[in-house]
Structure 1
Amino acid sequence: MLTLRQIEVIRAIMITGTIAGAAKLLSVSAPGISRLMKHTERTLRLKLFERRHGRYIPTPEANDIFEQINGVYKKVDDLHYTLARIERGGEIELRLGSVPSICHVMVPRAIERLRRKHPDLRIDINILKIEEALDYLLLGKGEIAAMSYKLDHPGIDFMPLAMGELLCIVPDSHELAGRACLSAREIVRHELIGIDPNDPYGRVMSEIFSRQGLAYDMRIKARFGTTVCSLVRAGLGIAIIDQFTVAHGSMQGITAIPIEEPTEFQTYVAIKNDKAPSLYAETFVSLLREEMNAVVSPRLRASAKALEKITSG
């Protein structure tokens, strides 16, 4: 039985015709090659080379072996090519979905880092409403979905992504723009633009008022956070929105202000539970989690890690 090292040495000698050449090709010492070759011939009880004029000439038996060895190396080369193609993401498409609040800033930042790791990877991104996410995954339209809410479905697994907080946003020129923090009582005194209370973020928003018995009136409601930001920037009121939509100063013309009351919420990544995630999906989720955790407070980051351990355990 030949070892892979012996096969490698036999091939190197046949290619170069000398022990010194084989040693150089394999970046090892010539005496080591010579000893291994002699040991191989003794083990096989077969003469593989004859020495003529300082060169190693393969015997007919060695030529037969060499043909098989080249077949092995062709398979190895094919394997290396396949691994390199997988690493670069060639001829592969990652299909992912996300709710708008996560897709606006966080997803592009994670995608940029993912493409650096796998430059040939094709990516298809779908912006989903919450109620669309289940069909998106169950019908195989996409592999994963970043969610602002955890649904209950036997065919879908929900893994914690990151915890976040809501912020109050006002126009840069607004009288509240210089404040370091705002209370719910102060917020309701102003014209409110909001997200529907039936939306996950809308529920968190309504709870900060209902806990204190505060009445509020939203003259303008919008489904997506980017629309809410545009309405605020136009001077139509102030609003409460998730921090991921306005992360990294993505919305010019508005100021984001922390809220005194607790406004934490948990985000998730959803995946169909009858199929293992691809390398690219796992890497994307890891990068997205890093990007989202980078903009939250250390306290929330610690809470998110604790929840992730409990869920994975």
Structure 2
Amino acid sequence: MAMNLRQIEMFRAVMATGSISGAARLLSVSQPAISRLLSYTEDRLGLTLFERVKGRVQPTPEARMLFAEVEQVHQGVTRVNELADELRRGGAGSIRLVASPSVGHMLVPKAVARFRHAHPEVRVEFEILTLSELIARIASHRADLAVTSMAVDDPTVKAVQIAEGRLRVIFPAGHPLEAKRVVKPVDLVPYPIIGYGSQTPYGVVVGRALGGAPQPIRFNAQVRFTPNACCLVQAGGGVAVVDDFVLMDDAWPNIRSRPLVPKTATRPHLLSSRVEPLSRIARRFVADLQSLLKAFPEDGEAG
């Protein structure tokens, strides 16, 4: 037999208070009612959940294992009730956003801030993930929207290009590369470069972009995400290649950048479910995001 919500609520109350009387007070019911429901639940489950010791109840190992799952159910029910209350008060619910690191550093937070200013009653959940992780979130309906820093071709999600940028070479202020208007792969040969994993999507893109150098380019450091590369460069730790979205709004005061040539385009995409239409809330967020992107320089020369 499966536990129903009433039994789950009773079980959690007994676990939380450590006694039948405490659970009764917490749930505003009589002690005999709690005792009867507890005995009925144990009988139907075929498990002993509590040992009675000197007027108190001690949870069995089985009860402790159940409690971990019950807490998750309780949190889910609580969120349903919160959402119902928001809707009853005229609120608009919630939106779950995920983004890859480059666009998640400045672009998406700026869009979230604009959206929150217009819709303060909406609950926003925002998380930075890898490309494979955010595709999985959208495909499994655990996120409403994802914003990626590069093209996505995956049959499990709907992907729409929302902008175009380019790769740029970044270095600390005062670096010799600052004298150049643009940077070619050959210009990077004298300098150790901060790179990415060769098997990661970003590492593949950067590796191809630097493949035209007449001599091997030395990678003396490796990071996972472009904001990590920016942190190292900001601290004077080397030279790196990033897209211009992570450099928005002069987010790194000590960093200088130049376009990498030949141009390597980066194409941020918006991901959503293939089978479910966007909610009204999600469409409003997309409008704010697109409004921000209209002001982004298409030639990628700013920054």
* Range of TM-score over shorter length: 0.5 to 0.7
Superimposed CA distance per residue, residues 122-174 of structure 1 (whole angstroms, 9 cap, x where no aligned partner): 10001111111132112222101111344444331111121110111110132
2:231 is aligned with 1:263: no
- Tell me which residue corresponds to 1:204: 205
2:178 is aligned with 1:177: yes
- Tell me which residue corresponds to 2:252: 251
Deviates more, 1:219-228 or 1:188-197: 188-197
Determine helix, strand or coil for the equivalent of 2:178: coil
TM-score normalised according to structure 2 size = 0.65
Superimposed CA distance per residue, residues 262-296 of structure 1 (whole angstroms, 9 cap, x where no aligned partner): 11121111111111101221222232233234223
Using a 3 Å threshold, how does the CA distance of structure 1 residues 111 and 256 change in structure 2: closer, same or farther? Answer: same
2:252 is aligned with 1:235: no
Q: What is the aligned residue count?
A: 215
Write the distance in 2 (CA, Å) between the matches of 1:216 and 1:285: 39
Determine helix, strand or coil for the equivalent of 1:96: strand
2:277 is aligned with 1:290: no
Contact kept? 2:191, 2:218, Cα under 8 Å: no
Tell me which structure has the larger Cα radius of gyration. Answer: 1
2:107 is aligned with 1:106: yes
Write the distance in 2 (CA, Å) between the matches of 1:299 and 1:181: 12
- Tell me which residue corresponds to 1:163: 164
User: Quick one: which amino acid aligns to residue 93 of structure 2?
Assistant: I
- Tell me which residue corresponds to 1:304: none
Contact kept? 2:181, 2:258, Cα under 8 Å: yes
- Tell me which residue corresponds to 2:129: 128
User: Quick one: which amino acid aligns to residue 262 of structure 1?
Assistant: K
Write the distance in 1 (CA, Å) between the matches of 2:240 and 2:112: 29
- Tell me which residue corresponds to 2:15: none
Write the distance in 2 (CA, Å) between the matches of 1:263 and 1:126: 27
User: Quick one: which amino acid aligns to residue 219 of structure 2?
Assistant: M
Q: How far off its partner does 1:226 sit?
A: 1.3
Using a 3 Å threshold, how does the CA distance of structure 1 residues 155 and 200 change in structure 2: closer, same or farther? Answer: closer
2:91 is aligned with 1:90: yes
Contact kept? 1:98, 1:128, Cα under 8 Å: yes
Using a 3 Å threshold, how does the CA distance of structure 1 residues 202 and 292 change in structure 2: closer, same or farther? Answer: farther
Write the distance in 1 (CA, Å) between the matches of 2:115 and 2:156: 27
Superimposed CA distance per residue, residues 28-53 of structure 1 (whole angstroms, 9 cap, x where no aligned partner): xxxxxxxxxxxxxxxxxxxxxxxxxx
User: Quick one: which amino acid aligns to residue 236 of structure 1?
Assistant: G
TM-score normalised according to structure 1 size = 0.63
Structure 2: stretches of 5+ with no match in the other structure: 1-85
Write the distance in 2 (CA, Å) between the matches of 1:161 and 1:260: 23
Using a 3 Å threshold, how does the CA distance of structure 1 residues 152 and 181 change in structure 2: closer, same or farther? Answer: closer
User: Quick one: which amino acid aligns to residue 185 of structure 2?
Assistant: A
Write the distance in 2 (CA, Å) between the matches of 1:89 and 1:180: 54
Determine helix, strand or coil for the equivalent of 1:177: helix
Q: How far off its partner does 1:110 sit?
A: 0.8
Using a 3 Å threshold, how does the CA distance of structure 1 residues 265 and 175 change in structure 2: closer, same or farther? Answer: same
Q: How far off its partner does 1:89 sit?
A: 7.4
Aligned sequence identity (%): 27
Q: How far off its partner does 1:299 sit?
A: 8.6
Determine helix, strand or coil for the equivalent of 1:245: helix
Alignment RMSD? 2.3
Contact kept? 2:151, 2:161, Cα under 8 Å: no
- Tell me which residue corresponds to 2:22: none
Contact kept? 2:180, 2:258, Cα under 8 Å: yes
Determine helix, strand or coil for the equivalent of 2:216: coil
User: Quick one: which amino acid aligns to residue 192 of structure 2?
Assistant: E
Write the distance in 2 (CA, Å) between the matches of 1:113 and 1:160: 21
